[in-house]
Structure 1
Amino acid sequence: MALHPTLQAVTERIVARSQPSRAAYLAHLDAARVQGVQRTALSCTNLAHGFAAFPANDKLKLREQKKPSIAIISSYNDMLSAHQPFERFPQIIKDAVRQVDAVAQFAGGVPAMCDGVT
């Protein structure tokens, strides 16, 4: 199915306009990938808090400092029925990340426009 011409034009303008910043972002990701895991930059207490809630197998992966740790950030909340489908997403993401031998943790929530906070 083809995109509506207006939507296609807007998408192309966004892609063109964001190309320099997207290229810089991707270069930053590549550099981080080459540099590897940098958990040693955290103090022992911060590291301990970060590991505490993980299951034992995930703690081992984190301690070895070789596996990625993905932060999950969401604007989900229980107050809005429209958010209900997203309630299970953190666990779905965690399970998918474990399948590629990494770990994920819900790191925080942010307010959404529709929740009346912003």
Structure 2
Amino acid sequence: AEERGIKVIIAGAGMAAHLPGMCAALFPMPVIGIPMHTTSLGGRDSLYSIVQMPSGIPVATVAIGGGKNAGILAAKILAVSDSELLGRLKEYSAGMAGDVEKKDARLQETGYKNY
């Protein structure tokens, strides 16, 4: 991965969820683990497996099925050294804030029962 110029690894895994931890053990770049939903425990098994890595093998963990947040987190990590990407992230955040304000205005206008 390092030779290929990869800066951040995103690894999704279910059940025992070994993939993110193995990536963190093998590669020096940040690893973001996405616990996947499972039929037996709804993904909690995956979440616990990824979150509880041993000392020295960190894996950043997002919510079960949290691929979107994993991508945003990876972009934020990369934006530390990329001002153009940082600007795009700021625009994205401002857009999300604007969406929330519009939804709030609609909620205030129509009431929660009609929202």
| TM bracket, shorter-chain basis | under 0.3
Q: What TM-score, normalized to structure 2?
A: 0.27
Q: Which has the higher helix share?
A: 1
Larger radius of gyration, structure 1 or 2? 1
